[in-house]
Amino acid sequence: MNILAPSLLGCDFSNLERQIKAVEEAGAGYLHLDVMDGLFVPSISFGMPVIASIRKCTDMVFDVHMMVKEPGRYAQVMKEAGAELLCVHQEACLHLDRTVSQIHALGMKAGVALNPATPVSVLECILDQVDQVLVMTVNPGFGGQEYIPYTLEKVRALRRLATERGLHLDIQVDGGITPENAAVFLEAGANILVAGSSVFRGDPGENTRKFMDVLRKYEAD
């Protein structure tokens, strides 16, 4: 299933609820929530209290992207705040297998994110255990960047590996995704698109509909 996951970092926080409702009504399935600690990435974003308050105004799936060191420390509180899918960085986990098992034990789906320069091969041992892989198509920490072209080959390699193993793996891409270039990621094998500024800059509802037109076309194909 092809899904759009608007990234809350791109929204107008003074109109938060209105913009969330706009993308939900236009067909977005996930809400992508970037949690940053200022250590794993330079920026600091928001945490559990904000996520818990947002949970009250939408039924969208909360796709929480943990850009923090040792994210397993926060799995329980993220579950309590409303997270349904918790995505951790391979580069941030000393014991990735343990963290993925912890997330599943709490009743959440587990995702693993890879920075642009991290090879797909690091997931070969654990790929069967994860629900989603997030391929970062920019270096994480800031919105509004252009995607790095070589990350497309990582998506292709990951989809090939999943197909060879008979896995129904969700592959998410994040960074520089627009309605105009979305097709290249879908053709490479991604099925979940994260988009921040390209959704929330201008009319979020109309921008979401543009993405959904592309997603539905490739679902039909």
Q: Which of 140-149, 169-178, 189-198 has the lowest mean pLDDT?
A: 140-149
Give dist(CA 192, CA 60) in Å, integer: 14
Q: Determine which one of 34, 37, 131, 170 is catalytic.
A: 34
Residue 34 among the catalytic residues: yes
**Residue-averaged pLDDT of the chain:** 96
CATH number at residue 11: 3.20.20.70
Per the structure, the complete domain to which residue 203 belongs is given by 3-220
C-alpha 189/C-alpha 173 separation (Å) is 10
What sign does the dihedral 139-144-150-153 (CA atoms) show?
positive
- Find, among 217, 90, 67, 215, the residue nearest to 141 by Cα: 67
- Predicted local confidence at residue 142, as pLDDT: 66
Known binding residues for substrate are 7, 65, 141-144, 174-176, 196-197
Q: What would the mean pLDDT of 67-90 be, rounded to a whole number?
A: 97
Count of domains in the chain?
A: 1
Active-site residue identified among 170, 174, 203, 213: 174
63 catalytically annotated: no
Say how far apart CA 152 and CA 124 lie, in whole Å: 18
